[in-house]
Amino acid sequence: MSTTTDDALDEQAERFGVHLEHIGRAPCDVGTVEMVVRRPESGRREVLQTAELRPLVGVVGDNYVERGDRRTADGRADPLGELNIMGSRALEAVAGPDRERWQLAGDQLIVDFDLSVDNAPRGTRLEVGTAIIEVTSKPHNGCAKFTDRFGLDATRWINSRKDLRLRGICAVVIHPGTVRPGDSVRKLPTDPSDPNPT
């Protein structure tokens, strides 16, 4: 017998499932930065034409450090969450093609790139513009704010496929640099000498 939850999942699959094939065709090795966003204060977004990425800071001028994180023991910013990154194909599925709404997701980088666990596991290094970032173990999930902006069905769908990381990834900056929309996102060879990826 089908439950309400089963019915809801079926409805989500019908509404959003058509996008999975398109998401699955995202570039695996070299993709593109579609949008760069800075959050100077809570609830405020600035779409940037260029941004500086810096270790321990993320996007310069973003409130990542100042905002902190209530989930950490000392309330400070989570060291594994300097950057939030979402795939443009998944974001378009929930926010629509109007890019004015994309910034509402709260991610600093929107990229056309395969962010799945198989393609970008923890420790994967990506060259983004002239910076190098590393995928961390911190999960990036749809939250109450995401639900407020895009709806409960969107959040449930985004969180339903952990393997695809539809909501995106968290990363840290390994090498500082600049990033602009249109820059490449390039997967770098794995460093076998690094036994402890973040």
User: How many CA atoms, within 13 angstroms, populate the side-chain half-sphere of residue 130?
Assistant: 7
As a whole number, mean pLDDT of residues 69-93 equals 85
Burial of 153 (0-12, 13-18, 19+ CB in 10 A): middle
pTM of the model: 0.86
As a whole number, mean pLDDT of residues 107-111 equals 97
Q: Check pLDDT > 70 for residue 3.
A: no
As a whole number, mean pLDDT of residues 140-155 equals 85
Q: Are strands 83-87 and 109-112 parallel, antiparallel or unpaired?
A: parallel
As a whole number, mean pLDDT of residues 83-97 equals 94
pLDDT of residue 5: 54
pLDDT tens-place string over residues 43-71: 789 999 999 999 999 999 999 887 766 66
pLDDT tens-place string over residues 7-49: 554 555 566 767 888 999 999 999 999 999 999 988 789 999 9
Distances (CA, A) of 68 to 71, 72, 79, 187: 9, 8, 10, 29
Q: Check pLDDT > 50 for residue 4.
A: no
pLDDT of residue 160: 86
pLDDT band at 126 (very low <50, low <70, confident <90, very high): very high
As a whole number, mean pLDDT of residues 166-185 equals 97
As a whole number, mean pLDDT of residues 125-148 equals 92
Q: Check pLDDT > 90 for residue 88.
A: yes
Give the closest residue to 168 by CA, choosing from 43, 97, 98, 81.
Answer: 81
